Each structure stands twice: as C-alpha cells, then as structure tokens.
Amino acid sequence: MIQIQDTVVSTDLIEEFFCCDIDRCKGACCIEGDAGAPLSAEEFEKIQNLLPDIIDTLTPAGQRAVREDGVGYYDPDGDLVTTLVDGAACAFAGFCHDGICTCMLEKAFSAGKTNFRKPESCALYPVRLQKFKSFTAVNFHRWKICKPAFTKGRKLNIRAYEFLKEPLTKRFGKEWYDELELTAREYIRQFNK
C-alpha cells in the first residue's frame, strides 16, 4: 500500500497491467455479479431525476425492474447499489447488435440528454473505494471476467492506474493523480531493479 494524500492506494493499481477489452468481455461487469453497481446517495438522486428521460431506452426487463423496485436498493452489506434485472444484469444495461453490453446512462450522456455520465464506481472499475474515518482505501478488485483486460493491458503496456487516469483525476483531482503517477514511476523503477 502507498499513501497518496489522504488515501491509501493498493500497489496492485501500479503493478497490474489493465485495459478493458469490451470486444472480448462484452461488458460482462454490467451483467454478472451478486449486486448492482455501488451508488452514492447523490448519484441515486440524479438517476431518479433523469429516469423519465431515459426509461424508454432501457430493455423491457430493465424498465420493469426500475418501475417495480426503483433505481437502486440496499444490498445485504448495507450498500446502496443499482437495481438488477432478475438478480443479474444492471437495470441500466442495454445490448448492441453485436452482443456488447452498453450503459444506457452513459449513452444518454453521450447523446447530450444528461450531464450525469454513470456511477463513479463503474467509471473507476476495477478500483473499489472504501472510506474510513481518516482516509480512503483505493483497492484493486480482481474478477475472472476481466481476464481479457489484463491480457490487453500487458500487450499495450498500460498499467491500471494509467488506464484509469480520467476517472481517478475526476475523483481525487489532478494534483493527487500527478502524485500517484510520480510515485508509480519510482515504484516501478525500484521494482524492476
């Protein structure tokens, strides 16, 4: 673990190569799992407010799920998460003709229908944040469905922290990311001695 400002960062974020390979995984992270995507209360409210503008873009099953269960729920761990369809796919997941899953929240954002892109937890994946009293842990989550991302990252020589530059900067700020980048370069230099 490495301390960057008021965060403690897993060295896996620096050591691991990672670059999403949507053509291979087909967006499985939006389909598989035992809970929806983690949400903040603010994100829950934003999705609730934009639902009337996007509900028609959801799959019929996604529409049914949010009409019956709302846009989110508290999972068994007490975390607020997006609603699932039949305990599997995120209610906001859509599918392209090529079978690739796409986030309908992000699609609405790209079309200029909303200023909310998608939950921060989705943008940051495979990073998972855990807040403590005096710091935030920036953890690296491993999931077998991301195997193509590890392969592509290694092939392209992209480390996880580099792949996540935009969402990490958005979440923690440019100064934080610059410090992480500098620390990562030194860490890798020492690691490769």
pLDDT 10s digits, 149-170: 999 999 999 999 999 999 999 9
- Domain end call among 94, 122, 150: 122
Q: What percent of the chain has pLDDT over 90?
A: 66
Nearest one of 40, 45, 93, 46 to 65, comparing CA atoms? 93
- Domain end call among 95, 122, 149: 122
pTM equals 0.86
Lowest mean pLDDT: which of 33-37, 57-61, 101-105, 173-177? 33-37
- Domain end call among 122, 139, 165: 122
pLDDT at residue 81 tops 70? yes
What's the pLDDT at 74?
A: 93
What's the pLDDT at 150?
A: 94
The answer to whether residues 106 and 164 belong to one domain is: no
The answer to whether residues 68 and 114 belong to one domain is: yes
pLDDT at residue 171 tops 90? yes
What's the pLDDT at 86?
A: 86
pLDDT at residue 193 tops 70? no
Average pLDDT of every residue of the chain: 91
How many CB atoms lie under 10 A from the CB of residue 148?
Answer: 17
Nearest one of 17, 36, 11, 18 to 139, comparing CA atoms? 11
In the chain, how many domains are there? 2
Provide the domain limits for residue 38: 26-122
45, 112, 184 from 89: Cα distances, Å? 21, 25, 35
